[in-house]
Structure 1
Amino acid sequence: MSKKILSYSHNKSFFSAIKEKSISFFINVANVMDYLKNITRNLFSNTLEFQEFLKQCYQIGNKSVGLISITGIIIGLVLTIQSRPPLVDFGAVAMLPGMVAVSIIREMGPVITALICAGKIGSSMGAELGSMRVTEQIDAMEVSNTNPVNFLIIPRVLAATVMIPILTLYADAIGIFGSWLGVNIKDDVSLKLFITQAFKSVEFIDIVPALIKSFFFGAVIGLVGCYKGYNAGRGTESVGIAANSAVVTASLLLIIVDLIAVQITDLL
């Protein structure tokens, strides 16, 4: 009899946990939809806080350009050093610049740049807005009839959407330069010749889809970072939770968006 009671209580607690998780999931979905609705309504009904937008553009670029420079050069070097031996075996070393350039422009540049910015920018947005929520600055803006969505969220989302493609182009250029450095470890190739060989293999279909999906990467980073910070809890520990959650969620969504973009590009 006691075993049956324990089994019944165990099953009851199991189904209760599933019920609670399901309710929490649908509440989060409703909150996300309401968040997107507010952003869309304010984006088209209110004037843009242009000074705040420029400030966020500068902060995003300034915070990320150093790390992206180092990462871009390393990516170019690693791709070149790893790809050279097989090409030497097949006598196809001349294909190395074009192969590395296409790899960086189509995939490595946009994805690595987005993941770096998810860590730097997404966490910064989550922590900044989360601390404003904890210190009740957002509540004060609402009480004083100032729209926090229009002043805090939209400039950050638009700035991330604009700056990530620019940083991606910069990362592509730095990565190709890093590849040239990698080639010159064993050979002696001028920069002009290397760039000429590299862009012989690059086509229009390689550049445009990568640039378009980088806009979506920027929008995802901005939306997720602002959402996690704006909806942070009241305790001080919620700031760290919001920053960490922003990075993890944005990184996962970036991989999903990249998968969808690759599938669409493959159909073209």
Structure 2
Amino acid sequence: MKKNDSIPYPLYVFENFKKKFTDFLIKIADVLSFLQLIVKNTFGKNFEWQEFSKQCYVIGNKSVGLISITGIIIGLVLTIQSRPPLVDFGAVAMLPGMVAVSLIREMGPVITALICAGKIGSSMGAELGSMRVTEQIDAMEVSNANPVKYLVVPRVLAAIIMIPLLTLYADVIGIFGSWIGVNIKDDVSLTLFVNQAFASVEFIDIIPAVIKSFFFGAVIGIVGCYKGYNAERGTESVGVAANSAVVTGSLLVIIVDLVAVQITDLL
């Protein structure tokens, strides 16, 4: 809303706030309607297993290399940064367990989700945005096909399934990177290091991390598909959809993690 000199400034601020708040409520209703379509088509007949399998492969194959490099670096950096204080207190033996718990409970799930939000979320937004701009989605609707069932549901479910698996893989690779970091100055066998690491890990450390990874996957898949599916006309809207999917997905991942930490703390 543009400023009009004939309108008092307090009234202008109020009208501008009212318009933005109304737009926000409309956006929330639109997202909920989109989520309802996803749930309805997920449990409908004739599930697209072939497209689901393809998306699982695409998500895993596109991300596993980057997750491998990131996991090793995170484990290596955590070990190098944590070792000097533990040496001062004579508690170097606690290093494997500390790194393992940090990776499994927080670093692994969050870093993996943020990477996937950047890589998978932007890919979904750009791909569906391109299909919207080139009117492929419109053609499916006109031909009585269900674009949500064929394009959106397999991508969302693939993200929900694959991101927890990528998280577990990142945890394992991170622990291996920590072992590399320990052996820069010490000489510890991999078997001994793994035994020390998992001696400090409890069942309550793994389950909440895995559960919130499913929610991370749902957030990334839904946001990426929503932004692409509802892209506006014009080629520039594809880039806007991809960028918006990354920013919104990353922010929601942090918010979901904050809520998950509070819930886990109550257990």
2:225 aligned with 1:218: no
Partner of residue 149, structure 1: 148
Partner of residue 19, structure 2: 20
Q: CA deviation at 1:9?
A: 4.1
2:158 aligned with 1:159: yes
| 1:90-123 Cα deviation digits (max 9, x unpaired) | 1000000000000000100000000000000000
C-alpha distance in structure 2 between counterparts of 1:221 and 1:48, whole Å: 21
Partner of residue 95, structure 1: 94
- TM-score, with length taken from structure 1: 0.96
Worse-matched range after superposition: 77-86 or 34-43: 34-43
Partner of residue 10, structure 1: 9
C-alpha distance in structure 2 between counterparts of 1:198 and 1:29, whole Å: 44
SS class of match (1:186): coil
Q: How many residues align?
A: 264
Structure 2 unaligned blocks of 5 or more: none
CA contact (8 A) 1:46 1:150 kept: no
C-alpha distance in structure 1 between counterparts of 2:40 and 2:7, whole Å: 49
2:254 aligned with 1:255: yes
Q: CA deviation at 1:8?
A: 3.7
% identity of equivalent residues = 78
Q: CA deviation at 1:162?
A: 0.2
C-alpha distance in structure 2 between counterparts of 1:118 and 1:178, whole Å: 23
Partner of residue 126, structure 1: 125
- TM-score, with length taken from structure 2: 0.96
SS class of match (2:208): helix
User: For residues 33-112 of structure 1, what are the structure 2 equivalents within 5 Å?
Assistant: 33-112=32-111
| 1:6-59 Cα deviation digits (max 9, x unpaired) | 474434433332222122111101101110111111111232100000000000
SS class of match (1:45): coil
Q: CA deviation at 1:195?
A: 0.3
SS class of match (2:183): helix
Worse-matched range after superposition: 44-53 or 111-120: 44-53
Letter in 2 for 1:161: I
| 1:152-206 Cα deviation digits (max 9, x unpaired) | 0000000000000110010000000000000000100000110011010011001
| 1:200-232 Cα deviation digits (max 9, x unpaired) | 001100111101110111011000000000000
Structure 1 unaligned blocks of 5 or more: none
C-alpha distance in structure 1 between counterparts of 2:84 and 2:6, whole Å: 62
C-alpha distance in structure 1 between counterparts of 2:254 and 2:13, whole Å: 32
SS class of match (1:185): coil
Please give the root-mean-square deviation of Cα atoms over the aligned residues, in Å: 1.2
CA contact (8 A) 1:52 1:155 kept: yes
Q: Which runs of 4+ in 1 moved over 2 A?
A: 5-16
